[in-house]
C-alpha cells in the first residue's frame, strides 16, 4: 500500500488524480491510500513523514506550492515530490526542493501513469531489503516490498509473498524482524510479522493483510496499532487514527 498526499485546491483535479490512481490499481494491482488537502496550511500543520509520494499543485491559496515544498523539505527530506501544475515555468525550479518530476495540466492518464510508475520504482529501490532464504536446496531472493507477512510454525518460517506464493524455510521470526527493522513491519502476535503496507482492514482482534485475516493478540495489540498508526499518519486529509 502506497501512501499519497494530493495537495490541490481544485476538487475536480483531486477527483481526476484519484481516478487515475484507481485506473493504475486496476491495471497493475498496486494499491494506494490517498489523502487530499485543499489547504496547504492544513497539510503542513498536520504533516507526519508517512507519505511515499506528494502530488503538489503550485497555484494554491495562502502560499504557493514552491513555498509549501520548501517547508515540507524541512520536515521530510525523503518523500517523493511531484508537481502537478499548469505553471511549468515554476515547476522546473523543483531542483531546489529535490522534486522528482512534474506533470503539466491538463493531466493525461498515460503521462500520469508513466511518471507514477517511475516514482514507485524509485521508492522501491530506496526502501527494499533483499532477503536471502533457502528453499528446497536452492536460494531465493525476496524483496521486502513483495513480502506481505512472515509466519512462524514451530521451527519453520513461511514467507507469504505477492509474486512467489508461500515459501517455507527454517529460522526464527526474531531474525527476520531484525533484518526488517525500520522498514514498516510489525508483529500482530508472536506468529506473524506483517508488512503494514498490505494492511487493508482492522477488526477488534484481527487484521486483514491483503485478503487474509490474521489474529492480533492482546499483548501485541497496543504496539501493533501504534506502529500501524505511525505508518498511516493522522492527518486531516482522510487518514485518521485506528483504534
**Res. 64: pLDDT tops 70:** yes
The percentage of residues in the chain with a pLDDT greater than 70, rounded to a whole number, is: 93
Which whole number is the average pLDDT over 132-140?
A: 89
**Res. 127: pLDDT tops 80:** no
What confidence tier does 235 reach under pLDDT thresholds 50, 70, 90?
very low
**Res. 89: pLDDT tops 80:** no
**Res. 215: pLDDT tops 70:** yes
Which whole number is the average pLDDT over 180-194?
A: 93
Higher pLDDT among residues 149 and 240, named by residue = 149
User: Can you give the three-state secondary structure of the chain, one letter per residue?
Assistant: CEEEEEECCCHHHHHHHHHHHHHHHHHHCCCEEEEEECCHHHHHHCCCCCCCEEEECCCCCCCCHHHHHHHHHHHCCCCEEEEEECCHHHHHHHHHHCCCEEEECCCCHHHHHHHHHHHHHHHHHHHCCEEEEEECCEEEEEEHHHEEEEEEECCEEEEEECCCCEEEEECCHHHHHHHCCCCCEEEEECCEEEEHHHEEEECCCEEEECCEEEECCHHHHHHHHHHHHHHHCCCCCCCCCCC
User: Is the model's pTM score more than 0.75?
Assistant: no
The percentage of residues in the chain with a pLDDT greater than 90, rounded to a whole number, is: 57
Amino acid at each position: 500500500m502506497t501512501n499519497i498526499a494530493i495537495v490541490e485546491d481544485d476538487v475536480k483535479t483531486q477527483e481526476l488524480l484519484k481516478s487515475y490512481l484507481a485506473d493504475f490499481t486496476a491495471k497493475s494491482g498496486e494499491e494506494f491510500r490517498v489523502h487530499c488537502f485543499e489547504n496547504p496550511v492544513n497539510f503542513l500543520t498536520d504533516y507526519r513523514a508517512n507519505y511515499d509520494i506528494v502530488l503538489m499543485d503550485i497555484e494554491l491559496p495562502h502560499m504557493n506550492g514552491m513555498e509549501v515544498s520548501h517547508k515540507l523539505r524541512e520536515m521530510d527530506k525523503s518523500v517523493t515530490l511531484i508537481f502537478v501544475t499548469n505553471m511549468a515555468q515554476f515547476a522546473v525550479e523543483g531542483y531546489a526542493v529535490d522534486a522528482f518530476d512534474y506533470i503539466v495540466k491538463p493531466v493525461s492518464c498515460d503521462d500520469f501513469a508513466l511518471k507514477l510508475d517511475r516514482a514507485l520504482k524509485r521508492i522501491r529501490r530506496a526502501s527494499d531489503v533483499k532477503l536471502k532464504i533457502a528453499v528446497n536446496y536452492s536460494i531465493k531472493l525476496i524483496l521486502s516490498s513483495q513480502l506481505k507477512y512472515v509466519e512462524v510454525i514451530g521451527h519453520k518460517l513461511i514467507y507469504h509473498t505477492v509474486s512467489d506464493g508461500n515459501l517455507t524455510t527454517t529460522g526464527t521470526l526474531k531474525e527476520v524482524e531484525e533484518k526488517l527493522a525500520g522498514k514498516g513491519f510489525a508483529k500482530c502476535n508472536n506468529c506473524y510479522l506483517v508488512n503494514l503496507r498490505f494492511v487493508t482492514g482492522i477488526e477488534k482482534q484481527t487484521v486483514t493483510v491483503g485478503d487474509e485475516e490474521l489474529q492480533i493478540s492482546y499483548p501485541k495489540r497496543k504496539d501493533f496499532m501504534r506502529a500501524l498508526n505511525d505508518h498511516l499518519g493522522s492527518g486531516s486529509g482522510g487518514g485518521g487514527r485506528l483504534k
